[in-house]
Chain A
Amino acid sequence: MNASIPQVSVAGAGEEITLVIGGNILSTNVQEVRQKVLDVLNQNETGNPLWKRLHLDLTAAQMIDSTGLNFLVAVTRHVKKRGIELKISVSSPNISKSFNFIRLNRQAEIVLIGS
């Protein structure tokens, strides 16, 4: 499984921010992903008073393991505390299934694209 450090990029401004994570989130790369994502969240928390929604685009991910899922649960908690709505897009039905198993679908809107 490809565990190279995925690119993290930001699109949009104002009310909705889209955060694109361009690969897998696994036990072997989660630390680097965490740092990149936290940087983006912190920037918007301090510099974007209009921010209301976060869209996590994970459509490039082929696998997210339990450590990656734990990280996503932590992101969910983080943004919910700040009253930010969360939407997560995935293209893998298996990843979507994992979200259901750990009940992430009750915490965020999960969108399965292209299946």
Chain B
Amino acid sequence: MYLTSDGRQSQRVSRPVDSVLIIDDEEDLLDMLKAVVSTLGYEVTTASDVDTAEGILTRRGTRAFQCVLTDYKMPGRNGLELLRWLKHFDADLAIIVNTGYASHEDVSAMIREGAADILKKPVQMDILRQALTHAVKQTRVSRRRASAEKAVLQVGVVQSYMLRITGIRDIPWVGFYSRPVHQAGGDFVSSFPREGGGELLIMADVAGHNLDAAYISAFFHGAVHGMARAGLSSQSMVNEINRFLLSKWNDRDLGDSADQAPEASVCALFIEVDGTRETMVCHNNGLPTPVLTLPEARTSFIGMGNCPLGLYDDPETCVTRIDGAKGASLLCYSDGLEDFARAQRISPLALACRLHFASDAERDEILAEADDDVMVMRLCMADCGEDAFFPILADSYPGDTYQQIDAVEDGWARSIQYAIPDILDEKLYSILLTAREAVINATLHGCGGDPEKAADFHVHYSPKLKLLRIMARDPGQGYDDDFLTAAEPDMEKERHSGLVLIRNFPDRVWTERRNATVFAEFSLI
């Protein structure tokens, strides 16, 4: 019995006694150690050699013990061999080696193999007590951690199962890949069939990437599932989730110590696709801007996501409607992909492209160093075939970019090589030189070098067709020279050597708007 802080008597919950297995071939020493360790409050089991110790550990299970204290030099097998055997079966059980003879090499080997402590015979009582206390604690912490890791794994299994039952992987026109940093995370996607053969796709990223994020994510998708079944519109669902987060979850004072749960916000992208798959409506709150690619390899960013849900009364949802999207594709991803691409100094589109066409094993390898959950989804609208172009780069450069063109070109090279690892050096040279000339032309001449103006530069790739297409577009008026068909370059005009390169290095070149938009195509076969 013991007294609680308010003076009531309470039944003490007795803690199980920690068990120690002691191994030593010297009978007298073994008896003495047994007596001493028992005096310190441990339940003791003894063995006179390694084989007997292994038999006990096998029979009773390693988890019956919190520590093993073994002699090093014994007839037959030694303490190091027991250490190796034990670490193979139970890496969490701490083992102390008690030795009078070990060489420097032996001690090094024991440390390498994971001995919790190495004691020198004859061991003093205080030192033995400290070593046992520390080793038992180490075993407990280690077992607790292993148990927590197992629980996390289990959550990951549940989340993977939930992803399967959402049906997202069964939709043939949706490519989807998700990899949490841990076994489970806050990125998640759901799909719900809508009337008329349409589909509602919801991509969400809960702040954080721990188990709490996975839990909130599951709640979010469950709530949305219910609302979708009740026929609510995307905007109504957005409003409801925002209201719930603000009025329930986040409605508390900062520093309220009784409530340790973190504030929650959810980045969410709702995509309503109609039955013909020619129209889609996106409601975006906080996810990176989706990337729309039209069949002729033209990319635009649609609907910047503003802020996540759960922060303000007005969610300021960005709504974008796209009609006549036949042949188009929509690429959506979480901010974890952007962060990882930035760390790799490549375009997020290049990373998305690489992931999209990689096997699951390759994807896991690529993202092994990612610090955040990564999720990518690509929707193929009606008639968007396997030969469709995938964006690798879609950037906009201020008019003075020609001054830093070398650094910009390095970024292109990294992104293109990342997205297409097997590209030949010769092809890459042709692409980079053409791109360099086109972007210098667009910024220096098309923008007049004015940093307030900008030129667009896009790179698309079709793995099926093995074609890479670049586009440089400036806001200028263009010019009349028909450089594509001129019989001979006029070398007196400085600009012409750049145009000559643009005309000759690609396999196909065409222009629009009096040459203010230049397209160049390269066969990678």
Q: Which residues of A contact B (CB under 8 A)?
A: 1-3, 26-28, 63, 65-67, 69-70, 73, 92-94, 97-98, 101-103
Top 3 closest pairs, chain A to chain B, by CB: A66-B498, A3-B406, A66-B497
Known A1-B409, A93-B426, A94-B433: A103·B489 in contact at CB below 8 Å: yes
Who on chain A is nearest to B440 by CB? Answer: A27
**Distance in Å from the Cβ of B433 to the closest Cβ of chain A?**
7
Would B406 and A26 count as touching, CB distance under 8 A? Answer: yes
The yes or no answer to B259 lying at the interface (CB within 8 A) is no
Who on chain A is nearest to B502 by CB? Answer: A66
Which one, B413, B436, B488, contacts A65 given CB within 8 A? Answer: B436
What 0/1 readout, one digit per residue, does chain B (483-505) give for beta carbons within 8 Å of chain A?
Answer: 00000110100100110110111
**Distance in Å from the Cβ of A27 to the closest Cβ of chain B?**
6
**Distance in Å from the Cβ of B524 to the closest Cβ of chain A?**
16
For the complex, give the distance between the alpha carbons of A94 and B403 in Å: 24
Which one, B406, B430, B437, B504, contacts A28 given CB within 8 A? Answer: B406
Known A1-B406, A94-B430: A66·B491 in contact at CB below 8 Å: no
Contacts of A101 in B (CB 8 A): 489, 500-501, 503-505
27 A-B contact pairs sorted by A residue (CB < 8 Å): A1-B409, A1-B410, A1-B432, A27-B402, A27-B405, A28-B406, A65-B433, A65-B437, A65-B440, A65-B498, A65-B501, A66-B500, A66-B501, A67-B498, A70-B494, A70-B497, A92-B429, A94-B430, A94-B433, A98-B433, A98-B501, A101-B503, A101-B504, A102-B489, A102-B491, A102-B500, A102-B501
**Distance in Å from the Cβ of A74 to the closest Cβ of chain B?**
10
Who on chain B is nearest to A76 by CB? Answer: B491
Q: Which residues of B contact A (CB under 8 A)?
A: 402-403, 405-406, 409-410, 413, 426, 429-430, 432-433, 436-437, 440, 488-489, 491, 494, 497-498, 500-501, 503-505
**Distance in Å from the Cβ of A66 to the closest Cβ of chain B?**
4
Who on chain A is nearest to B432 by CB? Answer: A1
For the complex, give the distance between the alpha carbons of A74 and B405 in Å: 23
**Distance in Å from the Cβ of B501 to the closest Cβ of chain A?**
6
Would A69 and B497 count as touching, CB distance under 8 A? Answer: yes
For the complex, give the distance between the alpha carbons of A101 and B430 in Å: 13
Contacts of B498 in A (CB 8 A): 65-67
**Distance in Å from the Cβ of A81 to the closest Cβ of chain B?**
15
Who on chain A is nearest to B428 by CB? Answer: A94
Would B501 and A73 count as touching, CB distance under 8 A? Answer: no
Contacts of A3 in B (CB 8 A): 406
**Distance in Å from the Cβ of A80 to the closest Cβ of chain B?**
13
Which one, B432, B433, B491, contacts A73 given CB within 8 A? Answer: B491
Known: A28-B403, A94-B430. 18 other contacts (CB 8 A): A26-B406, A27-B402, A63-B429, A65-B433, A65-B498, A66-B437, A66-B440, A66-B498, A67-B498, A69-B497, A69-B501, A73-B491, A92-B429, A94-B433, A97-B504, A97-B505, A102-B491, A103-B488
Would B489 and A28 count as touching, CB distance under 8 A? Answer: no
Contacts of A103 in B (CB 8 A): 488-489, 491
Contacts of A97 in B (CB 8 A): 504-505
For the complex, give the distance between the alpha carbons of A97 and B504 in Å: 9
Would B497 and A73 count as touching, CB distance under 8 A? Answer: yes
Who on chain A is nearest to B410 by CB? Answer: A1
For the complex, give the distance between the alpha carbons of A101 and B506 in Å: 12
For the complex, give the distance between the alpha carbons of A67 and B494 in Å: 8
Known A27-B402, A28-B403: A102·B497 in contact at CB below 8 Å: yes
Contacts of A92 in B (CB 8 A): 429
For the complex, give the distance between the alpha carbons of A28 and B440 in Å: 11
Max count, chain B CB within 10 A of own CB: residue among A65, A93, A103: A65
Max count, chain B CB within 10 A of own CB: residue among A26, A28, A73: A28
Contacts of B491 in A (CB 8 A): 73, 102-103
**Distance in Å from the Cβ of B446 to the closest Cβ of chain A?**
15
Contacts of B503 in A (CB 8 A): 101
For the complex, give the distance between the alpha carbons of A97 and B85 in Å: 66
Who on chain A is nearest to B427 by CB? Answer: A94
Max count, chain A CB within 10 A of own CB: residue among B406, B430, B503: B406
Known A1-B409, A1-B410, A28-B405: A63·B433 in contact at CB below 8 Å: yes
For the complex, give the distance between the alpha carbons of A94 and B504 in Å: 11
For the complex, give the distance between the alpha carbons of A67 and B497 in Å: 8
For the complex, give the distance between the alpha carbons of A52 and B263 in Å: 80
